Amino acid sequence: MDNARLSAGAKTWFDYWGVNLKDGERRKVKLERMVEAVGDVRISRFRADHFLQYGKNRLDSGIAKSTCNHELMYLKAMFNKLLKAGYISKNPLSAVSPIKIDEYEMAYLTKYQIKRLLVACRQSTNESLFGVVWLCLATGARWSEAEKITFSQVANSTVTFTKTKSGKNRTVPIEEGLYSYLVSRRRFGTQRVFANCLSAFRMAVKRAKLELPDDQMSHVLRHTFSSHFVMNGGDILTLQKILGHSDVKMTMRYSHLSSDHLKDVVRLGPLSYLG
């Protein structure tokens, strides 16, 4: 297949591997767009600088560095699958590294800001908004996980999130008030608890006069749950299970908020031994 064109490689990848992925169709579309932009050259003639020039053009057009890194990952993964299956003799992108991105500070809401947001959500004409925000703040769920829950996922004062980013279901306890609220929303003939309401959330954020990073708009609710959980004494391993992180390194981003962590600065620093 070394002499086949990139488009044929993308099709083979999708037919054998991508079709089984939850986001396979989306990846397929992205691969086809990249092939069109780079040029449908033969795989044997595709070189690292083809992608580097493509990436430069993308960045010059205003695309985020993280988006370029994702596109590199998709293309690399395609070549790796073809290589391991014996279709091609090498991965032309094996030596290409992702763009280094400075770690950004994750925004979270204070108790006062949470109250302002909830008031703004109650004022919304979208009657699903308040419940979705409440569920996110109570469980650390991603927006899409909370917005799309069905009544079958709510039972015995717990919510079970399915079709998660990690691919694994997770069950999180919820308070009785929230459980009763979710159950009370049952309507005959409907499976979903809530309607779509992300645009209503953006409007509520504006009404509450909250300044949030663009790339953390709805995700700020997940960060808020996690940050307050740790600041109130919750441990990282429990938080990992609640959030469904496959790697604890993701959860460790919140460790600096631990009160014990902050106390250790004083207790274990070099000056503590001087008396």
d(CA 93, CA 176): 52
Q: Which phi and psi angles does 18 have, rounded to 5°?
A: -60, -35
What DSSP designation does 165 have?
T
Whether residue 81 lies in the annotated active site: no
Whether residue 253 lies in the annotated active site: no
Query: 179-235: per-residue pLDDT in tens?
Result: 999 999 987 668 999 999 999 999 999 999 998 776 678 889 999 999 898 888 888
Query: 152-180: per-residue pLDDT in tens?
Result: 999 999 999 988 877 789 999 999 999 99
Q: With helix as H, strand as E and coil as C, how does 74-141 read?
A: HHHHHHHHHHHCCCCCCCCCCCCCCCCCCCCCCCCCCHHHHHHHHHHHHCCCCCCHHHHHHHHHHHCC
CA 19 to chain centre: 21
Structure tokens at 234: 């919750």
- Domain limits of the chain? 6-84, 111-263
The residue whose two tokens read 């004494």 is 233
Whether residue 90 lies in the annotated active site: no
Whether residue 56 lies in the annotated active site: no
**Catalytic, out of 165, 185, 207, 253:** 165
The residue whose two tokens read 């998660």 is 164
**Catalytic, out of 11, 76, 219, 253:** 219
Query: 34-50: per-residue pLDDT in tens?
Result: 999 999 999 999 999 99
Question: Starting at the edge strand that comes first in sequence, how are the strands of the sheet with 154-155 ordered?
Answer: 154-155, 158-161, 170-173
Whether residue 170 lies in the annotated active site: no
**Catalytic, out of 116, 222, 223, 228:** 222
Structure tokens at 91: 């991965």
Whether residue 254 lies in the annotated active site: yes
47: three-class secondary structure by DSSP = coil
Q: CA angle 113-101-46, nearest 5°?
A: 140
Architecture of domain 111-263: Orthogonal Bundle (1.10)
pLDDT at site 272: 53
d(CA 150, CA 182): 10
Helices (H), 61-103: 65-84
**Catalytic, out of 142, 148, 223, 228:** 142
